[in-house]
Amino acid sequence: MMGGGCMMGCTSTTVIDPPRGAAFADPPTLPNLSMTSGVVEVNLEAKIAPVNVNGTTANLQTYNGFFPGPTIKVKKGDILKVHFKNSLPYTGVNDMGMPRDMTNLHTHGLHVSPAGNADNVLVHFPSGETFDYEYDLSLHRGGNLNFYHPHVHGNVAEQVWAGQAGALEVADEGTALSGYETHILVLKDITLSGGAPEAHTSADFMNGKEGDTMLVNGQVNPVLAMRPGQVQRWKIVNASNARFYKLSLGSHSLRVVGTDGGLLDKPYTQSTVLLSPGERVDVLVKASSTKGYYKLQALPYNRGAGDSANQQITLMTVNVTGSSLSQNLPAMVDPSATRLNVPANAVTRQITLSMGMGMMGGGSASINGIAFSDTEAYTIVSGRETYEVWEIYNHSMMDHPFHQHVNPAQVISISGGDSAYKSLYTTTPAWKDTVIVPAMGSVKLLVPVKDYGGTTVFHCHILEHEDMGMMGLWDIL
């Protein structure tokens, strides 16, 4: 195995416990320029800008100068118009042969058309170009946190690593959770070198690049105030390239009320929640009645590569302070959320994820033996308004978060990996667009292919693996 990952029997844990930082802040909201109700219109510009990262100023690749990007807020039924501008400078070609400035926009998690000027990841823009994206959210199920980022094959890992990622929130349709103070947490790691994001090495492409600085909304160990007994709602997205977070708030339970694709029927109480790149989770936290500081940590989790296998990291501190506020947890969240049965006529497909050594000491990554390129891709052809069962096999020694665009799925079964993760996602009415396929394990998904035709993709959300070819095309007829 490559890199510093600890495979088995890790004995020593490295504790990363930075001093308490500034007050927690949500990412800024992108202003809505539209006066028309039902239309959200925003300007989004990819550009290099100086950002203060834990006291050091670095030139990051940002959206509108912010790191993470500003949050786009919409609701079901809206038309979202994004006036996109690529102001990244032309700085040559990377090791994957891609001009570094080439970019585009993907709305990870939105159930919208993958064609035309909607969530079309096959269009690319060089430096200086503008493009008007338009997304019709009339068929998107509400109540979830999504994730926008670039999606040019061969450039995704470097651009997201350098800062291009932001949250995209779709409001709840019901009111079960509207009474709780709500925050967005964008989890992202980075390593700086010479006032810029550290460059990728070929080992980083094999392992997935992890940073040495772990940030919540761009801040190291921010302090979030809660009143004793208060219930807060946290919508969390893992916007990191490769780092997994096994979240724990010590003696406080995390009550999961929503997943990638929407709300659950009721809260599910967990002591830890594992979140791989691209996944989102919506949790309620009820503060202790005892005042004091409580650490939100990422506990060691061995994904088969990377330093995170033996790190215990303080991500954020909750300061329980002030007069008490005894809030109750809801009994129900979205009673309409149900687990689907597998229809007898569902088409079954097998998808195998592999890693190997390529030419000249570099790595290779493939789906069903094919590394995605402009000329070759493993392609699934599906009919609209059908159900499919995808059996995804991981033939490698590391976990791969498998992500499909446009249509969220339900998880039928998981073999291997974290047992709490498996039981949460295989027994609740969770909608998922990103699921960990454990090392040497497998996952079975029920994929309803709904509403939209067009060509889109599925891939590993360790973004280096996607760039190396662990991606396939999905043609929906």
* 315 lies in the site for Cu ion, by CB under 5 A: no
Amino acid code (one letter) for 60: L
Taking the complex as a whole, how short is the minimal distance between the CB of residue 408 and ligand C2O, in angstroms? 13
Q: Which of residues 383-442 bind ligand C2O (CB under 6 A)?
A: 403, 405
Residue whose tokens read 């001009």: 99
- The CA-atom distances, in angstroms, between 150 and each of 91, 102, 121, 153, 253 are 17, 9, 8, 9, 34
Q: Which of residues 99-118 bind ligand C2O (CB under 6 A)?
A: 106, 108
Give the one entry of ligand C2O, Cu ion, none that residue 459 binds, where binding means its C-beta sits below a cut-off of 5 to 8 angstroms depending on kind: ligand C2O
Q: How many CB atoms lie within 10 A of CB 361?
A: 9
Q: How does strand 254-259 pair with strand 280-286?
A: antiparallel
* 465 lies in the site for ligand C2O, by CB under 6 A: no
Taking the complex as a whole, how short is the minimal distance between the CB of residue 466 and ligand C2O, in angstroms? 7
Between CA 438 and CA 440, with CA 439 as vertex, the angle to 5 degrees is 110
The one segment of 14-22, 105-113, 134-142, 253-261 that binds Cu ion by CB under 5 A: 105-113
- Residue 322 contacts residue 228 (beta carbons within 8 Å): yes
User: Closer to ligand C2O at the Cβ: 153 or 286?
Assistant: 153
* 73 lies in the site for ligand C2O, by CB under 6 A: no
Instruction: Let me know how long the chain is.
Output: 477
* 140 lies in the site for ligand C2O, by CB under 6 A: no
* 400 lies in the site for Cu ion, by CB under 5 A: yes
* 454 lies in the site for ligand C2O, by CB under 6 A: no
Residue whose tokens read 């786009």: 72
Q: What is the C-alpha end-to-end distance of the chain, expressed in Å?
A: 40
The one segment of 28-36, 351-359, 421-429, 457-465 that binds ligand C2O by CB under 6 A: 457-465
* 465 lies in the site for Cu ion, by CB under 5 A: yes
Structure tokens at 45: 């510009």
The one segment of 91-99, 143-151, 200-208, 439-447 that binds ligand C2O by CB under 6 A: 143-151
- Residue 274 contacts residue 421 (beta carbons within 8 Å): yes
| DSSP for 271-337, written as a single string | S-EEE-TT-EEEEEEE--SS-EEEEEEEEP---SSSGGGGEEEEEEEEEE-SS---PPPPS-S-TT-
* 303 lies in the site for Cu ion, by CB under 5 A: no
Closest CB to ligand C2O: residue number = 108
User: Closer to ligand C2O at the Cβ: 67 or 402?
Assistant: 402
Q: Which of 73, 100, 124, 149 binds ligand C2O (CB under 6 A)?
A: 149
Q: Which of 211, 278, 304, 469 binds ligand C2O (CB under 6 A)?
A: 278
Give the one entry of ligand C2O, Cu ion, none that residue 160 binds, where binding means its C-beta sits below a cut-off of 5 to 8 angstroms depending on kind: none
**Peptide bond just before 50 cis, omega within 30 deg:** no
Structure tokens at 328: 């109750």
* 280 lies in the site for ligand C2O, by CB under 6 A: no
Closest CA to 233 of 144, 303, 147, 301: 144
Structure tokens at 44: 């989004």
List the x/- string, 184-223, binding to ligand C2O by CB under 6 A. Answer: ----------------------------------------
| DSSP for 92-156, written as a single string | -B-TTS-BTT-B--EEET--S--STTSS-TT--B-TT-EEEEEEE-TTS-SSEEEEEE---TTTH
DSSP 416: S
Taking the complex as a whole, how short is the minimal distance between the CB of residue 399 and ligand C2O, in angstroms? 16
Amino acid code (one letter) for 75: K
Taking the complex as a whole, how short is the minimal distance between the CB of residue 72 and Cu ion, in angstroms? 15
Closest CA to 47 of 57, 58, 60: 60
Give the one entry of Cu ion, ligand C2O, none that residue 315 binds, where binding means its C-beta sits below a cut-off of 5 to 8 angstroms depending on kind: none
User: Closer to ligand C2O at the Cβ: 320 or 406?
Assistant: 406
Q: What is the gyration radius of the CA atoms in the chain, in angstroms?
A: 21
Q: How does strand 386-394 pair with strand 347-357?
A: parallel
Closest CA to 243 of 313, 318, 153, 340: 313
* 111 lies in the site for Cu ion, by CB under 5 A: no
* 237 lies in the site for Cu ion, by CB under 5 A: no
The one segment of 75-83, 176-184, 423-431, 453-461 that binds ligand C2O by CB under 6 A: 453-461
Q: Which of 264, 392, 446, 460 binds Cu ion (CB under 5 A)?
A: 460
Taking the complex as a whole, how short is the minimal distance between the CB of residue 403 and ligand C2O, in angstroms? 5
Q: Which of residues 404-433 bind Cu ion (CB under 5 A)?
A: 405
* 227 lies in the site for ligand C2O, by CB under 6 A: no
| Residues forming beta bridges with residue 25, ordered by sequence position | none
Q: Which of 81, 108, 111, 459 binds Cu ion (CB under 5 A)?
A: 108
- Provide the binding-site residues for Cu ion, judged by CB under 5 A: 108, 400, 405, 460, 462, 465
The contact set with ligand C2O (CB under 6 A) reads 106, 108, 147, 149, 151, 278, 403, 405, 457, 459, 461
